[in-house]
């Protein structure tokens, strides 16, 4: 698995970004919220590798701390969506019939709403904060996981080991947790990794629109907002956070696609 080129490349990118985020307090040369009126909109230099923003804050330091927020949002939001999706998909796939019909109609109903606009509508009634962003993204992105888990359960229920488990009188809870769910973890893992990339993009988009992480806290999205307002004067405010988002999302996508190739025996 590790020798697969996409898994190797994606894993290295993800590991490097995670290491940078965790090491931010030691790697950041400046306090990310430190204002210096004598260093406003300075271009990249040895003193400020990624330049400074409109308040004289070091962009490199803010990007390191922003990586912690963006990656945390991705992990927590995907954890929430996995929890909801696995529960709904497991119940629908295992019990079938009326339970399956009711839960899948609920899933279809939620899928009818554009995810990004649904998130905007929910956030409009809530105070913009990091925790609200995590919960809202997770609570509006479980539908794909639910349908994936349901499909896997429907396929696995016809296997010989499940027929043997039913013949032995194994309880439904044990069938789900000890037989079906472990055998469906491969596609779920791939979906989770790809979901992190989507959550990072969503958080960046919301912060760019001013509905996500609020200043003075740093995130890649709100650094991009400053870049938009000063695109002709400070190109570095758009280039460096944009590259960080691009590389992070690319890393998770490469890792997810590589794992899909490795875990899918048909490939």
Domains of the chain, CATH where assigned: 5-17+59-263 (1.10.3720.10)
Which DSSP letter does residue 96 get?
-
Q: Tell me the per-residue pLDDT of 113-160, one tens digit each, with 9 for 90 and over.
A: 777 777 777 777 777 778 888 888 888 889 989 999 999 888 888 788
d(C-alpha 122, C-alpha 113), whole Å: 12
Q: Look at residue 266 and tell me whether its pLDDT is greater than 70.
A: no
Which tokens sit at 213? 């992480």
The pLDDT assigned to 6 comes to: 86
Q: Which residues contact 132 (CB under 8 A, 6 or more apart)?
A: 123, 126
Q: Tell me the per-residue pLDDT of 60-77, one tens digit each, with 9 for 90 and over.
A: 999 999 898 888 888 999
Calculate the alpha carbon distances from 86 to 83, 144, 155, 188 in Å. Answer: 5, 10, 15, 9
pLDDT grade for 88, boundaries at 50, 70 and 90: very high
The pLDDT assigned to 60 comes to: 93
Q: Are the beta carbons of 21 and 15 closer than 8 angstroms?
A: no
Q: Are the beta carbons of 66 and 126 closer than 8 angstroms?
A: no
Closest CA to 219 of 73, 17, 90, 49: 73
**Helices marked H in 140-235:** 143-156, 160-167, 172-174, 181-183, 185-208, 220-229
Q: Are the beta carbons of 220 and 241 closer than 8 angstroms?
A: yes
pLDDT grade for 84, boundaries at 50, 70 and 90: very high
More confident site: 86 or 208? 86
DSSP letter for each residue of 133-160: HHHHHHHTS-HHHHHHHHHHHHHHTTSH
Q: Give me the chain's average pLDDT, please.
A: 86
Mean pLDDT of 188-203: 89
More confident site: 157 or 252? 252
Q: If you count them, how many residues does the chain have?
A: 267
Q: Look at residue 226 and tell me whether its pLDDT is greater than 70.
A: yes
């Amino acid at each position: 698995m590790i020798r697969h080129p996409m898994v190797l490349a994606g894993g290295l990118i993800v590991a490097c970004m995670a290491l940078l985020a965790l090491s931010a307090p030691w790697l950041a040369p400046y306090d990310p919220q430190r204002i210096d009126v004598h260093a406003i909109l300075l271009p990249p230099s040895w003193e400020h590798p990624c330049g400074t923003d409109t308040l004289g804050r070091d962009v490199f330091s803010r990007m390191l701390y922003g990586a912690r927020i963006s990656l945390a949002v991705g992990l927590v939001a995907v954890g929430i969506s996995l929890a909801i999706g696995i529960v709904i998909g497991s119940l629908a796939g295992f019990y079938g019939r009326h339970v399956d019909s009711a839960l899948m109609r609920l899933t279809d109903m939620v899928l009818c709403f554009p995810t990004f606009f649904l998130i905007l509508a929910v956030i409009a009634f809530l105070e913009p904060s990091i925790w609200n962003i995590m919960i809202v993204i997770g609570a509006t992105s479980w539908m794909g996981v639910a349908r994936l888990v349901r499909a896997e359960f429907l396929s696995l229920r016809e296997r010989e080991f499940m027929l043997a488990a039913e013949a032995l009188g194994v309880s439904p809870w044990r069938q789900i947790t000890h037989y079906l769910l472990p055998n469906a973890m491969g596609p779920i893992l791939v979906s989770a990794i790809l979901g992190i990339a989507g959550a990072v993009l969503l958080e960046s988009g919301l912060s760019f629109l001013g509905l996500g992480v609020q200043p003075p806290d740093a995130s890649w999205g709100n650094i991009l907002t400053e870049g938009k307002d000063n695109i002709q004067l400070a190109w570095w405010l758009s280039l460096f956070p944009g590259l960080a988002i691009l590389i992070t999302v690319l890393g998770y996508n490469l890792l997810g696609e590589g794992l899909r190739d490795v875990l899918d025996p048909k490939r």
